[in-house]
Structure 1
Amino acid sequence: MAQSSPLARIAPPPAQASAASRLTRKQKAAIIVRFLLNEGADVPIAELPDDLQGTLTTQMGSMRYVDRETLIAVVAEFATELEAMGLTFPHGMAGALSALNGRISPQTAARLRREAGVRQFGDPWEQVRAADLDDLVPIIAAESTEVAAVMLSKLDVTRAADLLSRIPGDKARRLTFAVGQTGNVTPDAVDRIGLSLAAQLADRPEVAFDDGPVERIGAILNSSTSALRDAVLSGLDEEDEGFALRVRKAIFTFIHVPERLKPTDVPNAIRGVDQAVLVTALAAAQAGDLAHVAEFILENMSKRMAESLREEIAEMGRVRPKEGEEAMTQVVNGIRQLAAAGEITFVQKDEDQEEAAAQ
């Protein structure tokens, strides 16, 4: 037992062990908790099940005085039990699922929860507050104004404002008024509402893909030829203009480099690109209608490197279109990998700019 522990400050004389034999385990638990609290220890009682918290509180309320001999005996017995303990397991299926979170497949975890009737959440409001706003919008739209007002009140101010902005004006006005009427809502009601909302968030059908259809199509078109990409986007425009616009937002190709890449990120973005590939991509761009992209890249790197690349481009001469497009794709793939790793951040255009670009 570490010497800094409150339990270690009381010597455990063996002769006094009989003093603890008169007490029940509940009484011993109350003594240990009271002792640790007196010593300033942080005892996570709130993590116990509700019934155990109640039992412990009731037991502590029924006790009055414990002499030093009994205290020493109870602490000694408790310390001995702790030292003899080799391994503990989480309590019940809920604890086991929490311990194995991320180590078993989501499908297996969901199936075990359904079979055992185990909730997927501890504090339901933590689940609600951490949820994606896109998942909360349909829930708040379907719930009553009173329930939605409680949910809005439990969110952080910035997230609540963002969520409110995504709701139709008349519903948003009713919600704003209803928030002012939540002063008399009881804690029990708030807990029940939180459990209901968290259950709705947890009760979503399993999906086969981690990314949405927009992201998957965008990734495919990013690696496609420009001719195929243009043809697919034209077809999507005819079938579903809104979906086509979202796909365009997900696409990042060579032409988008000046729009989406910060000038200060250019040296980092091309650092991992093979120089021969970069020269081929820039030469092909300068020979076609992407000369402004090549100039953007050359102007935002060191002067010495830019001069060296310009000399190699001049020596290379004409680049075959297929080779040029493949080189540009490699440059773009390198930039996207850096963005996915968080090493660079794309510039986000507003929706009006994106719609104008799409047209």
Structure 2
Amino acid sequence: MTAMPLAEPPELKKFSGIQRAAMLMLALGKEHGAAIWDQLSTDEIKELSATIAQLGRVPANVVEHLLIQFSGEVSSMASLHGSYETTERLLQGILPDDKVKDIMQDIRGPSGRTMWDKLSNVNETVLAAYLKNEYPQTVAVILSKLSSDHAARVLSELPQELGTDVIMRMLRMDTVQKEVIQEVEQTLRTEFMSNLSRSQRRDPHESMAEIFNALDRASEEAMLAALDERAPESAERIRALMFTFDDLANLLPAAISAIVRSADKREMALALKGAPEPMKQLFFSTMTERAAKLLREEMAAMGPVRARDCEEAQSAMVRLAKSLADRGEIMLVDPKSDDGLIY
């Protein structure tokens, strides 16, 4: 007697086609799925792998329906669990290690899933310096894959003649062949991104400057003085990299105004209480007359305060400024340059 087909589980309706394919490949495993993986393109493998990695738990009756011919094996399972780890194990042994590594790098994490996403996080000056040595057509292909605002910033960093040539090629560009895109991706991955990761290893002086920024004034001065005796060059470099409360005086009025809007008013009053008069006037100048009057009154009402409390409040103001700069809301004057600006 022919067995009656199993009714479709209602849970199956919530899964898309690619998710159903991912369940099948996860259930087949290495032994039964190797021949299928071998027939897929790199893009298909990436899409399927990314879907497997995000599957989470799949009810056993759904798997049983999709793999009815293997129902004897899967009916005893409580569930399958798709994760980055199971995806990586599944791909290992089927594909070369370097290919598995590239695929997993592209699908892991909440951001930077593709080479183009990663490239969009590269500083425009750094990217332009690399692209200056590439063919204009290659540059045009790369810029066409970036977001418009990032592409604009990179273009502005290129030599004018090269930039104009790139624009003309982008205007005449038809649909770029998939093979060309893949070749450019591979070149970027092997030549640019790998070199970038090596070159971006952080200078320990930068980390130490951040630690010194967090110290109270007395400890900072004592340690820098001791360092002057043992490693004067390192002490000088740390001082150059430090961003202090006094450096706020070099900010543009718009940046000071943004800090004033975001700051805790009592903390700002305490920070300015111990600040020199020019710094106080700089902050007052960005406020309305009424707001400045209220802040002066609050500072006066505090009476005598401990120097340590003022320094801690000033450190909090510096952290706020850096946080606003990290979000792109203000620009900080680079202490390493006379006129340069950094975000």
TM-score of Structure 1 vs Structure 2, range by shorter chain: 0.5 to 0.7
Paired AA for residue 43 in structure 1: G
Tell me the distance in 2 between the aligned counterparts of 1:212 and 1:335: 25
Task: Note the residue ranges of structure 1 that are not aligned, 5 or more in a row.
Answer: 1-14, 21-31, 58-72, 99-112
Q: 1:76 to 1:202 in 2, by over 3 A?
A: closer
User: What is the aligned partner in structure 2 of residue 86 from structure 1?
Assistant: 79
Structure 1 position 129, deviation (Å): 3.9
1:71-104 C-alpha deviation (Å, 9 max, x unpaired)? xx96583795377253446588972699xxxxxx
Give the alignment's Cα RMSD to 1 decimal.
5.5
User: What is the aligned partner in structure 2 of residue 175 from structure 1?
Assistant: 166
Q: 1:285 to 1:83 in 2, by over 3 A?
A: farther
1:308-353 C-alpha deviation (Å, 9 max, x unpaired)? 422445xx4xx9xxx75x55532221123334556998633799xx
Structure 1 position 128, deviation (Å): 3.1
Which of 262-271 and 328-337 deviates more?
A: 262-271
Given the alignment of the two structures, is residue 330 of structure 1 paired with residue 303 of structure 2, yes or no? Answer: no
User: Which of 290, 300, 309 is 1:310 aligned to?
Assistant: 300
- Residues 145 and 174 in structure 1, CA contact (< 8 A), matched pair in contact too: yes
Tell me the distance in 2 between the aligned counterparts of 1:301 and 1:118: 57
Structure 1 position 355, deviation (Å): 4.8
Secondary structure, counterpart of 1:273 in structure 2: helix
User: What is the aligned partner in structure 1 of residue 17 from structure 2?
Assistant: 43
Paired AA for residue 318 in structure 2: R
- Residues 129 and 155 in structure 1, CA contact (< 8 A), matched pair in contact too: yes
Tell me the distance in 1 between the aligned counterparts of 2:184 and 2:138: 7
Q: 1:86 to 1:144 in 2, by over 3 A?
A: same
Structure 1 position 267, deviation (Å): 6.9
Paired AA for residue 300 in structure 2: R
- Residues 140 and 148 in structure 1, CA contact (< 8 A), matched pair in contact too: yes
User: Which of 124, 133, 149 is 1:133 aligned to?
Assistant: 124
- Residues 284 and 292 in structure 2, CA contact (< 8 A), matched pair in contact too: no
Q: 1:209 to 1:310 in 2, by over 3 A?
A: farther
Q: How many residues align?
A: 269
Structure 1 position 165, deviation (Å): 0.7
- Residues 245 and 318 in structure 2, CA contact (< 8 A), matched pair in contact too: no
Paired AA for residue 269 in structure 1: A
1:29-52 C-alpha deviation (Å, 9 max, x unpaired)? xxx9xxx7xx79522279778645
User: What is the aligned partner in structure 2 of residue 251 from structure 1?
Assistant: 243
Secondary structure, counterpart of 1:329 in structure 2: helix
Q: 1:256 to 1:294 in 2, by over 3 A?
A: same
User: Which of 101, 122, 126 is 1:118 aligned to?
Assistant: 101
Given the alignment of the two structures, is residue 292 of structure 1 paired with residue 281 of structure 2, yes or no? Answer: yes
Secondary structure, counterpart of 2:263 in structure 1: helix
Tell me the distance in 2 between the aligned counterparts of 1:207 and 1:76: 46
Paired AA for residue 260 in structure 2: V
Identity of aligned residues (%): 15
User: What is the aligned partner in structure 2 of residue 10 from structure 1?
Assistant: none
Tell me the distance in 2 between the aligned counterparts of 1:135 and 1:82: 55
Given the alignment of the two structures, is residue 269 of structure 1 paired with residue 263 of structure 2, yes or no? Answer: yes
Given the alignment of the two structures, is residue 152 of structure 1 paired with residue 164 of structure 2, yes or no? Answer: no
1:198-234 C-alpha deviation (Å, 9 max, x unpaired)? 3334423766987567955764675656xx89xx9xx
Higher relative contact order (CA 8 A, sep 6+): 1
- Residues 124 and 154 in structure 2, CA contact (< 8 A), matched pair in contact too: yes
Tell me the distance in 2 between the aligned counterparts of 1:97 and 1:165: 45
Task: Note the residue ranges of structure 2 that are not aligned, 5 or more in a row.
Answer: 26-35, 45-63, 92-96, 108-113
Given the alignment of the two structures, is residue 95 of structure 1 paired with residue 88 of structure 2, yes or no? Answer: yes
Secondary structure, counterpart of 1:125 in structure 2: helix
Q: 1:127 to 1:269 in 2, by over 3 A?
A: closer
Structure 1 position 149, deviation (Å): 1.7
User: What is the aligned partner in structure 2 of residue 23 from structure 1?
Assistant: none
Secondary structure, counterpart of 2:17 in structure 1: coil
Tell me the distance in 2 between the aligned counterparts of 1:294 and 1:146: 50
Paired AA for residue 152 in structure 2: A
User: What is the aligned partner in structure 2 of residue 187 from structure 1?
Assistant: 178
Tell me the distance in 2 between the aligned counterparts of 1:82 and 1:342: 55
Secondary structure, counterpart of 1:203 in structure 2: helix
